[in-house]
Amino acid sequence: MPERWLRFCRRLVPAVVRQTTFDPAAADLELEWASRGAPTGQAARFRLRLALVAVALQCRRLAAHAGVSHPHRPGADLMAILTDLRHAARRLRGQPVLTLVAVLTLALGTGANLAVFSTANAMLLEPIRAPAPDRLVRVYPLSADGGFDKISYPDYQDARDGAPGLDLAAHAEALVEIGRAGEGGGVRVAELVSGNYFRVLGLAPEAGRLFDVREDEGELAHPVVVLSETFWRASLGAAPDAVGRSLTINGAAFDVIGIAPKGFRGTFNAHPVDLWVPLTMQQVARPRGLTLDQRGWGWMSMIGRLEPRTTLVEAQRQLTLVAADHDRRFPQRGAGFAFTVTPALAATDGDRQLLGPMLAAVFAFTALLLAVTCANLGGLLQARLGARRRELAIRQSLGANRRRLVWDGTAEALLIAGAGATAGLLVAALMTSLLSSLDLPESLVGNLTLVAPVGWRVVAYAAGLGLFAALLFGALPAWRASRLDASGFLKGDGTTIGGGRRRARSRRLMVVVQVALSVVLLVASGLLVTSVGRRDALGPGFETTRLGLLTINTNRQRIEPGARRPLADLALETIRRDPAVTHAALAMRAPLSSGRDSMTFRIPGYVAPSGEGAVSIDFTLVGADYFSTLGVPMVAGRTWDPLAAVRAPSAVVNETMARRFWPSADPVGQSIDLPGRGQLTVTGVVQDFSYYSIGETPRPYIFLSAETEPPSEWVLHVRTSGDEEPVLARLARALPAADARLSPYEVIPFETLRRAPLFPARLLAAGASLFGVFALLLTAVGLYGVVSASVSQRTREIGLRLALGAQPGLVLGEVLREAGVLAAAGAGFGLVGGYLAATGLRGWIVGVSPFDPGVYLSVAAALSALTLVAAWVPARRAAAVDPVAALKN
Amino acid sequence: MSNRLPDITHLQFLVLEALEAAEQAGRDLRRLLEAHGVKNSAPAFYQMMSRLEQADLVTGRYDQKVVSGQHVKERRYEVTRAGRRAVQATRHFYRARAVAAGRPVRKGSHA
């Protein structure tokens, strides 16, 4: 028997009946359970039944309190609740269209909210799938700007050995190529891990063995691999003899020594891992031409388990001592080495920083939409209760107690909310599967996989949302409706109702709230859409069509540094031979791709405001034809001579750099010191263009000659005369034909890259627009309802006025004015809210002021048009009232 | 006495009558009710038993049991003197009704 669960369920039950009712019922279940031999596979079912017992008892108690229980008939209380629910269901069935619209509206409102919640839950809140995940922590060295940094192997060793309260493992992600056909093939996500990694996580192998500290000894001495259960099943067909087989990783043979436990896919939640390789094999699995013992080259993350009785604070203290010791030992690396310890979740802190703000923004939009939905349904149910006032008054005068009447009104809302939340779960599942199938740009999220299974937390959240909605739009109006002077009401004719004005006021208030929230959503979406449009139209500063990129990694292709130059020349020659290619150049990185390289330069005669002579400037390595290939004009000087650059290192700087460092002198011919690597001569100044994102603030940038020192990764830029895609396909075949080592691992049109940085903003804009339009439509329905009800209520008055000579146009104008006042009041609040929302979204709105008059005016125009449409039908009806018929009635 | 309506329901009568013979476990009582076509859920049944306890018609106690190597607590019930009296009273009531139903009804009288 799961003791903790039993205690939990017991707490759900009122204390007075725990011993006499819950305990024996639980014992019966337990007996049944034990007599079956307690199969563990059915534990979940058993727990569910136990929880149902507790919930049933609680319901019975609540029913007894609400006065719906029958003292002499066990089960009668529950029966009374069920009867009321059945009556409510029958009433709802009587108006199928209305019910369906209410349920669908709520399903969309909750579904959108649930989809975002379940994604955020899966991406950001889930713990690591390992025993006692609450004792796991992530440890980061802090970078100079306080961000999370990576750590080098020697620094990791110091941290591991210097913090006894923490069992610390290191790990790094790598994309590896699995060789030979029949073994899964293709590029897979691998995790390079220290020997204690699996021990720290507390995992046991599914088959074979996992790594131990032996694998930490000797670089390149352990070509062994552990496979994920999924990979083993999918790629090796769950072969029982997989352990002991050989697997080719990046061209080298590795022995499979074990299979990781089922369900474990590594500790980078968003990037499911297929295989694990010892850190000591990094030269093969993650070829960067570097050895493990290089201190200062940070490339790994750390994950640790707190030893028993060690707290997070104590672990942090121990690591602070390690950092202080590090500063003492390596003063040349500068002071300020520091660690931070955070509780480990399945998502890395980097992923959470990347996705958190976007998910938070989308979540806020869906919450607004849900609020509009609730306000709309509130209005609807209030109108329904209004129509039932006579029935409620009769029941009250016949002796029904008030709690029973409130419950009766709430039952309808509960049914709608229950159906809406359940349908919302389906909508959410549909939306998340749609989101998972989206082809997210790699430059945004790396090899991130959106996984959002609907777990218990999501279901609990859905139930909470449903209950909240039901209480908000059901119980509250029911409570108000039950405060009714029955005799007064029944004495009257039933149409002039005391409190009718108050009810109309609260319905109007709900419409104002809906208008305001819709306007907030519309303003936000308008600003986002405008921003995306402007950034899209802006472009990076060069022509992005007819431009393609082919990437070759020399380490992966085993190209020795000495062979890089001739092979690069061969690659460019092969590309230029294609008749459709007009220009081609090699670069270390493409503009707008992820990643950034910066170096410390010293510029003679320049002293930074901080007093330092050296400045950190972003740079990249490019071939001499790079600028002509991109089509970026030189504003001064020229690019370097490829042959001369080999002997005399040269550089081209951008306009911003020229203005910043040589405001009054000619930048061409100036020299720049590259500490430890000699002097560069500036041969030209190129026009500014975007390096990281479109619309960015221009920053100083240096282009160094790739001819001097060809980089390890080549991004071959190809400008074509026509459509680039067929040319790229041709080149992807021609390059390996020229030399087998020139096999590109990525071939993409530049447009793909251009669109990628805008992806989150585009997604956000699309989401906000969709929710905004939906909210506006709901608001129109709400507005129509209120105006229409008001016209029905005033039919007699309008008839009288028309009989006395009022013009129909006047009546029409008056009804339209009523709707206009409501819309204007809502719009007033909404525009202020929209401005506040825009300030919150400032990071996403680039190139547009948060008070862009165009956006606000368009929203106002859309709202006016909608108000007119929503109010026109009831207004026409009011103007067409037949005075004689109205007065006769 | 025999003319007063019984204080207990048919279901309660069934349970108390079963307990008259011997002390029984809640689980066995539920089986007995099932044999009479009464399918009560565990919470409903134990709520009824709880009410009988509150009315002092039965007393309940826990008993330890070992099933498949697991210690399991089980609620056992015994009828009280008041419980027995209630069963007797119900029996008398229905017996009197049966006897009354067996006599010829005189003309002009209202049974």
Cβ of B9 within 8 Å of Cβ of A25? The answer is: no
Q: What are phi and psi of A801, to 5 degrees?
A: -65, -40
Structure tokens that stand for A242 in this block: 């997989």
Q: Reply yes or no on whether the pLDDT at A358 is more than 90.
A: no
Structure tokens that stand for A729 in this block: 């396909």
Which of A277-286, A358-367, A610-619 comes out lowest in average pLDDT? A610-619
Stretch A642-658: mean pLDDT? 83
Rounded to a whole number of angstroms, the distance from the CA of A44 to the nearest CA of chain B is 19
Q: Which of A17, A37, A75 sits opposite B50 (nearest CB)?
A: A17
- Residue with the larger pLDDT of the pair A384 and A807: A807
Q: Reply yes or no on whether the pLDDT at A732 is more than 90.
A: no
Cβ of A24 within 8 Å of Cβ of B26? The answer is: yes
pLDDT of A260: 92
Rounded to a whole number of angstroms, the distance from the CA of A59 to the nearest CA of chain B is 11
| Short-list A684, A713, A440, CA closest to A590 | A713
Q: Minimal Cα distance from B61: which residue of A? A: A20
Q: Minimal Cα distance from A22: which residue of B? A: B43
Helices and strands: H and E segment counts in chain A: 30, 21
Stretch A542-546: mean pLDDT? 85
Sign of torsion, CA A306 A307 A310 A315? negative
Q: Running DSSP on this structure, what letter comes out for residue B91? A: H
Stretch A5-20: mean pLDDT? 79
Rounded to a whole number of angstroms, the distance from the CA of B97 to the nearest CA of chain A is 22
Residue A150 and residue A143: Cα distance in Å, rounded? 9
The strand pair at A650-654 and A679-686 is best described as parallel
What's the angle, vertex CA A472, arms to CA A467 and CA A477, rounded to 5?
Answer: 125
Instruction: Determine the residue among B8, B38, B59, B72 to mutate to test chain A binding: the one whose Cβ has the most chain A Cβ atoms within 10 Å.
Output: B72
Sign of torsion, CA A65 A70 A74 A77? negative
Q: Which residues have CB under 8 Å from A719's CB, separation 6+?
A: A546, A547, A581, A582, A583, A584, A629, A630, A631
Judging contacts by C-beta atoms under 8 Å, the chain A residues touching residue B68 are 34-35, 37-38
Cβ of B46 within 8 Å of Cβ of A60? The answer is: no
Judging contacts by C-beta atoms under 8 Å, the chain B residues touching residue A74 are 11, 40, 44-45, 47-48, 51
Stretch A200-207: mean pLDDT? 90
Stretch A67-83: mean pLDDT? 57
Give the B-side interface with A, CB within 8 Å: 9, 11, 26-27, 30, 40-51, 53, 60, 62, 65, 67-68, 70, 72-75
Judging contacts by C-beta atoms under 8 Å, the chain A residues touching residue B65 are 31
Cβ of B30 within 8 Å of Cβ of A28? The answer is: yes
Residue A549 and residue A253: Cα distance in Å, rounded? 31
Q: Which of B42, B47, B62 sits opposite A60 (nearest CB)?
A: B47
Residue-averaged pLDDT of chain A: 80
Cβ of A20 within 8 Å of Cβ of B40? The answer is: no
Judging contacts by C-beta atoms under 8 Å, the chain A residues touching residue B27 are 28, 31
Q: Which of A24, A34, A73 sits opposite B46 (nearest CB)?
A: A24
Cβ of A17 within 8 Å of Cβ of B11? The answer is: no
Stretch A74-88: mean pLDDT? 70
Rounded to a whole number of angstroms, the distance from the CA of B45 to the nearest CA of chain A is 8
| Short-list A472, A457, A373, A481, CA closest to A414 | A472
Question: What digits encode the pLDDT tens for the residues B59-105?
Answer: 999 888 777 666 777 889 999 999 999 999 999 888 888 888 875 54
pLDDT of A497: 41
Residue A165 and residue A311: Cα distance in Å, rounded? 8
The strand pair at B70-79 and A671-673 is best described as unpaired
Judging contacts by C-beta atoms under 8 Å, the chain A residues touching residue B72 are 27, 30-31, 34
Stretch A860-877: mean pLDDT? 89
pLDDT of A606: 78
Rounded to a whole number of angstroms, the distance from the CA of B52 to the nearest CA of chain A is 11
pLDDT of A333: 62
pLDDT of A72: 44
Q: How far apart are the first and last CA of chain B?
A: 18
Rounded to a whole number of angstroms, the distance from the CA of B102 to the nearest CA of chain A is 30
Q: Minimal Cα distance from A39: which residue of B? A: B68
Judging contacts by C-beta atoms under 8 Å, the chain B residues touching residue A56 are 41, 43-44
Cβ of B74 within 8 Å of Cβ of A35? The answer is: no
Judging contacts by C-beta atoms under 8 Å, the chain B residues touching residue A34 are 67-68, 70, 72
Q: Running DSSP on this structure, what letter comes out for residue A214? A: G
Judging contacts by C-beta atoms under 8 Å, the chain B residues touching residue A28 are 26-27, 30, 42
- Residue B58: which pLDDT band, with cuts at 50, 70 and 90? very high
Percent of chain A exceeding pLDDT 70 equals 85
Query: Residue A691 region, left (φ>0) first, then alpha (ψ -120 to 50), else beta?
Result: alpha
Q: Which of B51, B53, B67 sits opposite A34 (nearest CB)?
A: B67
Rounded to a whole number of angstroms, the distance from the CA of A463 to the nearest CA of chain B is 23
Stretch A761-770: mean pLDDT? 78
| Short-list A556, A529, A493, A435, CA closest to A119 | A435
Rounded to a whole number of angstroms, the distance from the CA of A80 to the nearest CA of chain B is 14
Residue A787's SS3 state is helix
- Residue A74: which pLDDT band, with cuts at 50, 70 and 90? very low
Amino acid in the structure at residue A224 = V
Q: How many CA atoms lie within 13 A of A396 on its CB side?
A: 21
Are residues A838 and A527 in contact, defined by beta-carbon separation less than 8 angstroms?
Answer: yes
Are residues A728 and A880 in contact, defined by beta-carbon separation less than 8 angstroms?
Answer: no
As for the ipTM of the complex, it is 0.78
Q: What are phi and psi of A70, to 5 degrees?
A: -115, 120
Q: Reply yes or no on whether the pLDDT at A169 is more than 90.
A: yes
Question: What digits encode the pLDDT tens for the residues A679-699?
Answer: 888 889 999 888 877 777 788
pLDDT of A500: 58
Q: Reply yes or no on whether the pLDDT at A139 is more than 80.
A: yes
Q: Minimal Cα distance from A13: which residue of B? A: B43
Q: How many CA atoms lie within 13 A of A799 on its CB side?
A: 14
Is pTM beyond 0.80? Reply is no
Stretch A89-106: mean pLDDT? 84
| Short-list A456, A411, A380, A426, CA closest to A122 | A456
Cβ of A56 within 8 Å of Cβ of B53? The answer is: no
Structure tokens that stand for A435 in this block: 């989101």
Instruction: Determine the residue among A12, A16, A19, A20 to mutate to test chain B binding: the one whose Cβ has the most chain B Cβ atoms within 10 Å.
Output: A20
Residue A511's SS3 state is helix
* CB contacts < 8 A (A, B): 77
Residue A109 and residue A421: Cα distance in Å, rounded? 9
Amino acid in the structure at residue A420 = G
Instruction: Determine the residue among A21, A29, A58, A69 to mutate to test chain B binding: the one whose Cβ has the most chain B Cβ atoms within 10 Å.
Output: A21
- Residue A278: which pLDDT band, with cuts at 50, 70 and 90? very high
Q: Which of A20, A53, A60 sits opposite B42 (nearest CB)?
A: A53
For residue A586, give the H/E element and its range: strand A581-587
Instruction: Determine the residue among A16, A18, A28, A32 to mutate to test chain B binding: the one whose Cβ has the most chain B Cβ atoms within 10 Å.
Output: A28
Give the A-side interface with B, CB within 8 Å: 1, 17, 20-25, 27-31, 34-35, 37-38, 53, 56-57, 60, 72-75, 78
Cβ of B70 within 8 Å of Cβ of A24? The answer is: no
Residue A608's SS3 state is coil
Are residues A571 and A586 in contact, defined by beta-carbon separation less than 8 angstroms?
Answer: yes
In this structure, the dihedral spanned by the alpha carbons of residues B95, B101, B105 and B108, taken in order and rounded to 10 degrees, is 90
| Short-list A451, A353, A424, A429, CA closest to A760 | A353
Q: Minimal Cα distance from A37: which residue of B? A: B68
What's the angle, vertex CA A302, arms to CA A301 and CA A308, rounded to 5?
Answer: 165
pLDDT of A498: 42
Rounded to a whole number of angstroms, the distance from the CA of B107 to the nearest CA of chain A is 38
pLDDT of B107: 44
Q: What is the DSSP string of A312-371?
A: HHHHHHHHHHHHHHHHHH-GGG-S---EEEEE--SS-HHHHHHHHHHHHHHHHHHHHHHH
Note the helical H segments in chain B: 10-21, 26-35, 42-54, 81-102
| Short-list A477, A389, A365, CA closest to A770 | A365
Rounded to a whole number of angstroms, the distance from the CA of A29 to the nearest CA of chain B is 8
| B67-72 LR contacts (CB < 8 Å, sep 24+) | B67/A31, B67/A34, B67/A35, B68/A34, B68/A35, B68/A37, B68/A38, B70/A1, B70/A30, B70/A34, B70/A38, B72/A27, B72/A30, B72/A31, B72/A34
| Short-list B78, B75, B23, B8, CA closest to A17 | B75
Q: Which residues have CB under 8 Å from A78's CB, separation 6+?
A: A56, A59, A60, A63, B44
Percent of chain A exceeding pLDDT 90 equals 9
Residue A814 and residue A816: Cα distance in Å, rounded? 5
Residue A155 and residue A280: Cα distance in Å, rounded? 15
pLDDT of A76: 54
Maximum distance among all alpha carbons in chain B? 71
Residue A141 and residue A146: Cα distance in Å, rounded? 9
